[in-house]
């Protein structure tokens, strides 16, 4: 049961353009969503998160959009840089379950982003 899905295995964009990475989820209990970037031979690095009470969160070149009705979120990177080339993972969690903070992350399969100079 894949509760978090990233349906695009790869994405290729030109430097300076916008990169849009997509993620869908099925579990309506998820109340926090996170994006991670991963380089080879390293652990995932946290990029940005969004609470389910918001529909947008911005941090520098990175913006995450959440559409709860569609159970869909996206990460926008503007402008894209060659150093952004990595695997991007979407993750979701139930941060608060019955008043007790929980926090196990459920990850998508990842999207390989390649930014060409």
Partner 1 sequence: DTGVSQDPRHKITKRGQNVTFRCDPISEHNRLYWYRQTLGQGPEFLTYFQNEAQLEKSRLLSDRFSAERPKGSFSTLEIQRTEQGDSAMYLCASSFTGGAEWGYTFGSGTRLTVV
Least CB distance to partner 1 at residue 28 (A): 17
Q: For residue 49, give the nearest of 68, 36, 67, 30 by alpha carbon.
A: 36
Least CB distance to partner 1 at residue 105 (A): 6
Least CB distance to partner 1 at residue 115 (A): 21
Mapped onto helix, strand or coil, the DSSP state of residue 84 is: helix
Q: Which residues bind partner 1 (CB under 8 A)?
A: 4, 6, 32, 34, 36, 41-47, 49, 51, 89, 91, 93, 95-96, 101, 103-110
Nearer of residues 17 and 72 to partner 1, judged by Cβ: 72
Q: How far apart are CA 105 and CA 11, in angstroms?
A: 24
How many CB atoms neighbour CB 27 within 10 A?
14
Least CB distance to partner 1 at residue 17 (A): 26
What would the two tokens of residue 108 be? 């998508």
- What does residue 74 show for φ and ψ, rounded to 5 degrees? -140, 150
Q: How far apart are CA 73 and CA 31, in angstroms?
A: 12
Nearer of residues 16 and 46 to partner 1, judged by Cβ: 46
Nearer of residues 19 and 89 to partner 1, judged by Cβ: 89
Nearer of residues 12 and 51 to partner 1, judged by Cβ: 51
């Amino acid at each position: 049961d894949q509760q978090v899905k990233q349906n695009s295995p790869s994405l290729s964009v030109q430097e300076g353009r916008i990169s849009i990475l997509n993620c869908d989820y099925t579990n309506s209990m998820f109340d926090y969503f996170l994006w991670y970037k991963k380089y080879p031979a390293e652990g995932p690095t946290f990029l940005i998160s969004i609470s389910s009470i918001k529909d947008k969160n911005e941090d520098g070149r990175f913006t995450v959009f959440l559409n709860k009705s569609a159970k869909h979120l996206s990460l926008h990177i503007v402008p894209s840089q060659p150093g952004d080339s990595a695997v991007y993972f979407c993750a979701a969690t139930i941060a608060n379950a019955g008043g007790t903070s929980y926090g196990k992350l459920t990850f998508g399969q990842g999207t390989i982003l390649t930014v060409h100079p």
